Amino acid sequence: GEMASEPVARAVAEEVARWGGMRQTGVSLRYMTEFGARPTERNLLLSAQFLHKELPIRIARRALDLDSLPFGLSHKPAVLKVRDWYLDSFRDIRYFPEVSNQDDELAFTQMIKMIRVRHTNVVPTMALGVQQLKKDLGGTKAFPSGINEIHQFLDRFYMSRIGIRMLIGQHVALHDPDPEPGVIGLINTRLSPMLVARLASEDARAICMREYGSAPDVNIYGHPDFTFPYVTIHLHLMMFELVKNSLRAVQERFMNSDKHAPPVRIIVADGAEDVTIKISDEGGGIPRSGLPRIFTYLYSTAEHPPDLDGHNGVTMAGYGYGLPISRLYARYFGGDLQIISMEGYECED
């Protein structure tokens, strides 16, 4: 009954506050690569023991954050749902006994896999919460002055989510008995940006075809043999979002014209220190006034965000988070993503 659950909820709240106050430990791409190069039983055990202590800190921080949002965003049904996922996951990890042998480690790995699945729809669900808030505030026009606090919160929140998913995904992937050469967990030490560009473009064009019945070509330029160490799924996600964005702009601009839709270009340039990927299109650019807005979560070009059950599949417009979230993925390992709009020409890198 109600009485019994109150002390439990209070105890959990105290635990969350205690863990949320601890310091997180950062993990670099290089460290993950070196550590994961020998996924021995002992190393997997060490990794699980580390996550057993680290994940509750990161998850607790997010749960606390979700409780203290401005403008009553914390009380929106969608946000409460997300908070419950974080509290459930916090409990799952905290109540999991000490990891001291291989059986514990395998059970722990199953449990964190489940957590990763539970959190799959955090982004669209938070988008729905923001949508619910927008309705209350009377649409984008009437935003109060402190609204950028919500944007900063979401940047922090999604950045941290990338970190949590990376840690869980890496640990789970190290169990692969037969990895491809050069692949360490989620990291490909010899990732070909040209190949990822091709696959991401094919995915984006397929969606464009489905939505519009046709799709501009994508031309890819760069060194076919060039590789660098990176997280494959992160690069794929960023390129997919940017190409999709370009295809949509070109498609919308040339849909009713008798001119042939010009191709989207991807240029992969490998410098001594970094890799630059430029995606350019002739989709007409974004009016200068709109540029800062494409990186906010409060402005979406899509009319209808997904419902809570997320039943509307991947569409070209998505819920307007593709670019800001791609930028977080780029920054996660020290890169960046910029949109440069030139009149009549649009470049992204």
Q: How far apart are the first and last CA of the chain?
A: 55
Per-residue pLDDT tens for 287-311? Answer: 555 555 555 666 654 445 444 444 4
pLDDT the model gives residue 274: 83
pLDDT of residue 229: 93
Q: Do residues 222 and 296 share a domain?
A: yes
Nearest to 81 by CA among 124, 38, 30: 124
Single-letter amino acid, residue 208: C
Contacts of 130 (CB under 8 A, 6+ apart): 73, 150, 154, 297, 298
Q: What is the pLDDT of residue 315?
A: 54
Q: 48 and 131 share a domain? A: yes
Number of H helices, E strands in the chain: 10, 8
Residue where a domain stops, chosen among 182, 207, 238:
182
* Cα Rg, the chain, nearest whole Å: 22
Stretches in the chain below the pLDDT threshold 50 = 1, 301-303, 305-313, 344-347
Q: Amino acid letter at 302?
A: A
Query: What is the reported pLDDT for 12?
Result: 86
Say whether both 234 and 259 belong to one domain: yes
Do both 288 and 144 map to the same domain? no
- If we measure between CA atoms, which residue out of 307, 238, 255, 252 comes closest to residue 284? 252
Task: Check which CATH number belongs to the domain holding 295 and give it.
Answer: 3.30.565.10
- Claim to verify: residue 208 and residue 337 sit in the same structural domain: yes
- Assign residue 54 the CATH number of its domain: 1.20.140.20
3-state DSSP percent of the chain in helix, strand and coil, to 5: 60, 10, 30
Domain match, 134 and 86 both: yes
Selection from 104, 102, 114 nearest residue 52 by Cα: 104
Residue 169 sits in the same domain as residue 250: no
| Residues 142 and 225 occupy one common structural domain | no
> How much is the pLDDT for 312?
45
Tell me the torsion sign for CA atoms 32, 35, 37, 38: negative
Are 317 and 206 found together in one domain?
yes
Please say which residue of 164, 182, 200 terminates a domain: 182
Whether residue 217 sits in one domain with residue 315 = yes
Q: Are residues 193 and 168 in the same domain?
A: no
Q: What range does the domain containing 308 cover? A: 187-348
Same domain, yes or no, for 177 and 204?
Answer: no
Residue 185: alpha-carbon gap to chain centroid: 18
The residue among 141, 167, 182 that closes a domain is 182
Total domain count, the chain: 2
